[in-house]
Amino acid sequence: MAPTKKEATAEKETKLTPEQSSALILDYLRRTNRPYSATDISTNLKNRVTKTAAAKLLKDMHERSEIEGRAAGKQIVYHVIQQPPEDGAVEALKDTVQETSKLKDDTANLKLQEKALRNALREGAAVVPLAELKGDVCTLETEKAKIEARLETLKGGNVKPVSTEEKEEIAKQHKLFSKTATARKKICVELWKDITGLECVSKDEAENLRERFDLPF
């Protein structure tokens, strides 16, 4: 019976000269850059080179120092000749490894700093929320302005003179409001120093936070 078209094509593909087979094997080893046995090469090349032919050709190429071969269990595997590393390549690799290790450490430290920052923000908000501080400062500033306006009016003599007791009470309230405003502003400043002192907070991020909470410093 005459061979089918598929069989004829397969027969045609396997009819390679020894030189063509050697070139095909060498090209495959270079492309894959991995060690293979004669059986593996024959299989991976879809039997274009038989196992027997591959074993002989690989042995011949090894003897001609075109490829390298070494024992792996009960068989021999072959691979392309590895070029020695260029001058400085080993040192460059060591530098890369060290830099990678440093970056990993820096990343871990930044994560710890980020966690500390978040905790500081939560703790600060639990003591005196920034929004509340902002509102209190505004209220105190308004009260202070009103008191100062009243004092100016009183000094002008356009109203009934204020008694000594009233003056003392006004002065006492003014002092109390001023002291409270100063204390709360100091809390804001200290919290802000803690936040901006962390390495994981950039200048731009700090500026955005300051504008977001409308901090007066």
- In order of 4, 68, 181, 214, the CA distances from 200 in angstroms are 73, 52, 30, 21
Taking the CA atoms of residue 44, residue 45, residue 50 and residue 56 in that order, the dihedral angle to the nearest 10 degrees is -90
Which of 115, 116, 25, 119 has its CA nearest to residue 77? 25
How far is the C-alpha of 36 from the C-alpha of 195, rounded, in Å? 59
Please report the pLDDT score of residue 217 as a whole number: 63
Note whether 57 and 21 are within 8 A (CB): yes
What is d(CA 108, CA 118) in angstroms, rounded to the nearest whole number? Answer: 16
pLDDT of residue 43: 94
pLDDT tens digits, 57-86: 999 999 999 999 999 888 999 999 887 766
pLDDT at 98: 84
Q: At what angle do helices 164-196 and 203-212 cross, to 10 degrees?
A: 150
Query: Is residue 38 classed exposed, middle or buried when 0-12, 13-18 and 19+ CB atoms within 10 A define those classes?
Result: buried
* For the chain, percent of residues with pLDDT exceeding 70: 79
Q: Which has the higher per-residue pLDDT, 158 or 92?
A: 92
For the stretch 3-30, pLDDT in tens is 565 555 555 565 789 999 999 999 999 9
